Structure 1
Amino acid sequence: MRIYDDIQLDYCDVLLRPKRSRLSSRSEVDIEREYDFKWCPLKIKGTGVMAANMSTTGTFEIAKIMQKYKLFTALHKHYTAEELIKFLKDNKKNFKTNGYIFISSGVSEEDYKKIQKVMKTKLINNICIDVANGYSPYLINYVKKVRAAYPKCLIMAGNVVTGDMTEDLLLNGADIVKVGIGPGSVCTTRKLTGVGRPQFSTVIECSDAAHGVGGMICADGGCTVAGDVCKSFCAGADFIMLGGMLAGHEESAGDVIKRVYITTEVEDTGDEQLKYVLKEKYFKKFYGMSSEYAQDLFYGGLKKYRASEGKLVEIPYRGEIEKTILAILGGVRSAMTYVGAKRIKDMPKCATFYRVNRQLNTVFGNE
């Protein structure tokens, strides 16, 4: 048994230090960068915000909006090959490229057959290989298999939280390593297993390891506000995967749920009488992909040998996703002017952090 006693930090444990800057306006910064990958010969120009490959956020509808802003979407793995091919054909016809979209895969033989069917069409080049425990030998073996079969494809694989495993995946065929175990808002892995690592420290170590061998990372989970996205870019993340921040919108999967409740109001009649009022609120379901709900939905139930590592929640309906996307990108632009980074790629070079005990004053609420 060994204990690492270095302090491990989450996004809420730090704040960015402002610096003098020549930038006089948010309009002067460049939030796009050209991605040049370790194995994949193709280049992509975009901003590395990515919709998570969860069944509520990795949807065709969200992908259509994200790509308008040169943002990425990892489609969830429960679409059939036929559904993927139809979408990719239509999307390429309308948008001219599928470069901002990843298809997702597990490591089973059935997953590989689906990849083969989709890749055969040559409609897409990006694959996200996604398993809960990236330390399993199955992941590296599968990455090798996909790289050998499709040497020019762009491969993202994970999840891990340490530099050594980040390097192993990159050296064995991955272009991007997905990092994060347990930071997601509907993930209960840490609670159930005691396994995980604070996400800010994860990003710092894994990005340093990845960049040292010519690879990249995608910080998966832990962002709750636009400021966390800014911190993640400054900590070295090349891509940042968002789930909860993009859930609950019109384009997110799932029906809108109406809840009716009774509240009281004071009648303005002079004698301050109370009256009962019926009100409505609207919600959408959001759940972890290892939750019992997801297992029931996609796998016919939770297997006896495993436990639920996610939860099901109802989050307030947020309307169209475009407003949220613009708020996130606006936050990134503003952060760049605060730290003096003209290009998004320069954010880690310009960043200095304060370690803090509290970052927000919530006396009037958490919004």
Structure 2
Amino acid sequence: MIIESDLKLDFKDVLIRPKRSTLQSRNDVNINRTFTFLHNQRDWTGFPLIAANMDVVGTMGMARALSRYGAMTALHKHYPADDLIAFFQSDDSGNVFYSLGITEADADKFRAVKAKAPVDKLCIDVANGYTERFVETVARMREENPDIVIMAGNVVTGDMTEALLLAGADIVKVGIGPGSVCTTRKMTGVGYPQLSAIIECADAAHGLKGQVCGDGGCTVPGDLSKAYGAGADFVMLGGMLAGHDECEGDLRHEERDGQRIPVAMTFYGMSSDTAMHKYAGGVASYRASEGKTVEVPYRGPVDGTVQEIMGGVRSMMTYIGATKLKEVPKRTTFVRVGAQLNTVFGGG
């Protein structure tokens, strides 16, 4: 048994210290980034936000909406093959990841789709990225698809970040347990504070010219700023994008003044009872649910939320004098805090 006593931090534990700046306006900053991916050496430019591959959020409708802002979407893996083929044959698929797990059925479905449609981004997604089988799957998919961008995860430590990049991943997805509808930490006791996970994994990835995507833990726009400051090249969101028109959760309506008004939408983790009953016929006898099902307020089109996020990032950059988003980690100094919000009215 080993106890690590080094301090590990979450987003709530820090704030970003402002720095003297010559910037005059939020219009003076560039929130896009350009990356050259490690294995296929192709360039990508855009706002490095990715909608999570959860079946409520990682939708084709979300992909079309986020693409207007240069952001990306990881589609959930439960769309029928024919629907995926039609989508990837369209003009809407440029900023979209095809998602799959590590079963042979997942691989066969991907091969069938790719044989008929130009898929150029792949998200290989499991809850536990520490298994040999997962690393072997990443290596096999890289060998079969030398020209594709591969994002793989999830892990929270530098050693496994390096292992996945060496196996063939371009982007490593970072996060175990921080998601708003994830109960892995409660059910298993396993996890890692998300800010420290991003810092450590980004340091490992950047040494090999790879990228990391911080997945989970963001609850407000300022958390994305902290993730970018910690070295995240991309940030993946689930709960912050839930409840919008582009999602595929069930809407609950209420009668108001003789009209049926949408007020809430279901949102659930992909290891929840809800997801496992929907896709696997129930929770297998050898495992427990590691996700929960909640209702989030209905929030209309996602455009307002995306603009709020982008505005928060722009404002952060003016506070620390970063003209380009890629400069943010070098200009970020975190200060530890006991509380970051004044919650006297409305809880923050």
Q: How does 1:188-267 map to 2 (within 5 A)?
A: 188-259=183-254
- Give the Cα–Cα distance (whole angstroms) in 2 for the partners of residues 212 and 286 of structure 1: 37
Letter in 1 for 2:303: E
Q: Answer yes or no: is 1:338 the counterpart of 2:333.
A: no
What are the Cα deviations for residues 210-234 of structure 1, in whole angstroms up to 9, with x where unaligned? 0011111000000000000000001
Structure 1 gap ranges (5+): 262-278
Q: Which residue of 2 aligns with 1:294?
A: 275
CA 1:280/1:147 → structure 2, altered by over 3 Å: closer, same or farther?
Answer: closer
Kindly provide the amino acid, as one letter, of the partner of residue 37 in structure 2: F
Distance 1:324 1:226 in 2: 9
Q: How far apart are 1:85 and its partner, in Å?
A: 0.9
Deviations 1:151-198 (A, max 9, x none): 111000000000000000001100000010000000000000000001
Query: What TM-score, normalized by structure 1, do the two folds share?
Result: 0.92
Alpha-carbon distance in 2 for matches of 1:15, 1:311: 29
* 3-state SS of 1:157 partner: strand
TM-score (normalizing by structure 2): 0.97
Deviation of the 1:255 alpha carbon: 2.8
Q: Which secondary structure state, in structure 1, belongs to the residue aligned with residue 34 of structure 2? A: strand
Match of 1:350 in 2: 331
The aligned amino acid for 2:46 is G
| Counterpart-to-counterpart distance in 2, 1:232 and 1:254 | 27
Q: Is the 8 A contact 1:44 1:99 kept in 2?
A: no
How far the C-alpha of 1:308 sits from its partner, in A, is: 0.1
2:288 to 300, 307, 315: 307
- Secondary structure, in 3 states, of the residue corresponding to 1:142? helix
Q: CA deviation at 1:254?
A: 2.0
Correspondence 1:6 to 2:1 = no
Task: State how far apart, in whole Å, the 2-side matches of 1:259 and 1:289 are.
Answer: 27
1:333-352 deviation line (CA, Å, top 9, x unaligned):
00001011100011001111
Alignment RMSD, CA only?
1.5
Distance in 2, matches of 1:73 and 1:253, equals 14
State how far apart, in whole Å, the 1-side matches of 2:317 and 2:311 are: 10
Aligned counterparts of 1:280 and 1:102: Cα–Cα separation in 2: 33
Distance in 1 (CA, whole Å) between partners of 2:13 and 2:41 is: 38
Number of the residue aligned with 1:270: none
Instruction: Tell me by how many angstroms 1:121 deviates.
Output: 2.7
Distance 1:245 1:146 in 2: 31
**Counterpart in the other structure of 1:364:** 345
What does residue 114 of structure 2 align with? 119
1:74 — aligned with what? 74
- Where does the alignment leave 5 or more consecutive residues of structure 2 unmatched? none
Contact 1:50 1:72 in 2 (8 A): yes
Q: What is the CA-CA distance between 1:259 and the residue it aligns to?
A: 4.7
Aligned positions of 1:64-213 closer than 5 A: 64-90=64-90, 92=91, 95=92, 98-213=93-208
Query: In the aligned structure 2, how far is the partner of 1:122 from the partner of 1:351?
Result: 42
Post-superposition offset of 1:281? 6.9
Letter in 1 for 2:132: P
Measure the CA separation in 2 of the matches of 1:158 and 1:342: 31
Question: How many residue pairs align between the two structures?
Answer: 346
Report the Cα offset of residue 122 of structure 1: 4.4
Percent pairwise identity: 54
Larger Rg: 1 or 2?
Answer: 1
| Aligned-partner Cα distance in 1 for 2:213–2:12 | 19
Structure 2 counterpart of 1:205, one-letter code? E
Give the whole-Å Cα distance in 2 for the aligned partners of 1:70 and 1:146: 26
